[in-house]
Amino acid sequence: MSTPVFERIAIIGVGLIGSSIARAAMEKNAAGAVSLFDANAAALARAGELGIGEPAATLEGAVRDADAVFLCVPVGAMGSVAQAGIGAMKPGAILTDVGSVKASVARDLKAHAREGVHIIPGHPIAGTEKSGPDAGFGSLFESRWCILTPEAGGSEAYAAAAQTLAAFWRALGSRVELMDAQRHDLVLAITSHVPHLIAYNIVATAHDMESVTEGEVVKFSAAGFRDFTRIAASDPTMWRDVFLNNKEAVLEVLGRFDDDLTALRKAIRNGDGATLFNQFTHARGIRRSIIEAGQDTAAPNFGRDAPDPPKL
């Protein structure tokens, strides 16, 4: 068995992502030990019962001996948790996070920077619609990308720390990409934030019409709608914070989305079948690329309606 990347890590926030890191780190020997803390005492107790790490009585106790501290809390809470915990961290340790927005988190963490602690924001592009310590699993990060946004122009020790953090994520099965925080926020606005907002929005529209349709939205959801409800079932606090903290990029992408939708509405109104057909044809190409890139299953309906074995 190889040496773990870190002797000890601390997971602050034992929800879906935090508890998955804890599980994966132990299963894959990426960390020798895992300290856990959560401001929610019930969640922390549950993580202890699940045996995914060592619950600490205080935030300071959790971070004290850790080589890397992972903040797995909503984006809006990163600053205050960093402020409360960074003073107890040991020299040379890494402070990182898993938030879905990076520029605002980088700013909030840096506001509490301390000599000798390496602040390296990060974002594993992985998750499910479930929340809480029971929802995590150790294979969540396999074949998924993890984006790190270290500051440019840091010291040699800082660059080395970033490499060590990258090695940790690779040990969990992730592919790692270094990126500028602003660019991360624009890319994620289109691949994640706006899709989630659209999903929340159409579920709300359907909810308002539900009174008109007396349960029919739920009944006939297999026609497409059910796909949207899955991502719209994600943690509301986490997503509220994403939109409050990636406002500019989200509004920019939403503006483009709106322009495109206006064009499609016009095509429908005018009975312009050629425009509709051409737009719809493009979409198949992107789907194919995603499957080829190993980022989704090729199985029909994501494999959830198991087909019969093919008859030949």
Q: Which positions from 18 through 47 interact with a second copy, judged by CB under 8 A? A: 23, 27
Does 110 participate in binding a second copy (rule CB under 8 A)?
no
CB of 65 to a second copy, least distance (A): 24
CB of 181 to a second copy, least distance (A): 14
Span 209-248, contacts to a second copy by CB under 8 A:
209-210, 212-213, 216-234, 236-237, 239-241, 243-244, 247
CB of 211 to a second copy, least distance (A): 12
Span 265-284, contacts to a second copy by CB under 8 A:
265, 267-269, 271, 273, 276-277, 279-284
Does 80 participate in binding a second copy (rule CB under 8 A)?
no
- Using the contact rule CB under 8 A, the part of the chain among 38-46, 63-71, 82-90, 289-297 near a second copy is 289-297
3-state per-residue secondary structure call for the chain = CCCCCEEEEEEECCCHHHHHHHHHHHHCCCEEEEEEECCCHHHHHHHHHHCCCEECCCHHHHHCCCCEEEECCCHHHHHHHHHHHHHHCCCCCEEEECCCCCHHHHHHHHCCCCCCCEECCEEECCCCCCCCHHHCCCCCCCCCEEEECCCCCCCHHHHHHHHHHHHHHHHCCCEEEECCHHHHHHHHHHHHHHHHHHHHHHHHHHHHHHHHHCCHHHHCHHHCHHHHHHHCCCCHHHHHHHHHHCHHHHHHHHHHHHHHHHHHHHHHHCCCHHHHHHHHHHHHHHHHHHHHCCCCCCCHHHHCCCCCCCCC
Does 98 participate in binding a second copy (rule CB under 8 A)?
no
CB of 155 to a second copy, least distance (A): 29
Span 148-177, contacts to a second copy by CB under 8 A:
177
Q: Which of 4, 53, 138, 173 binds a second copy (CB under 8 A)?
A: 138
Does 251 participate in binding a second copy (rule CB under 8 A)?
yes
Query: Is 120:92 a contact under the CB 8 Å cutoff?
Result: no
CB of 30 to a second copy, least distance (A): 15
Does 2 participate in binding a second copy (rule CB under 8 A)?
no
CB of 213 to a second copy, least distance (A): 5
- Using the contact rule CB under 8 A, the part of the chain among 113-121, 129-137, 150-158, 163-171 near a second copy is 129-137
CB of 200 to a second copy, least distance (A): 5
The token pair that represents 287 in the structure block: 């789907």
Does 8 participate in binding a second copy (rule CB under 8 A)?
no
Does 87 participate in binding a second copy (rule CB under 8 A)?
no
Query: Is 229:202 a contact under the CB 8 Å cutoff?
Result: no
Nearest to 8 by CA among 36, 38, 47, 34: 34
Does 200 participate in binding a second copy (rule CB under 8 A)?
yes
CB of 103 to a second copy, least distance (A): 16
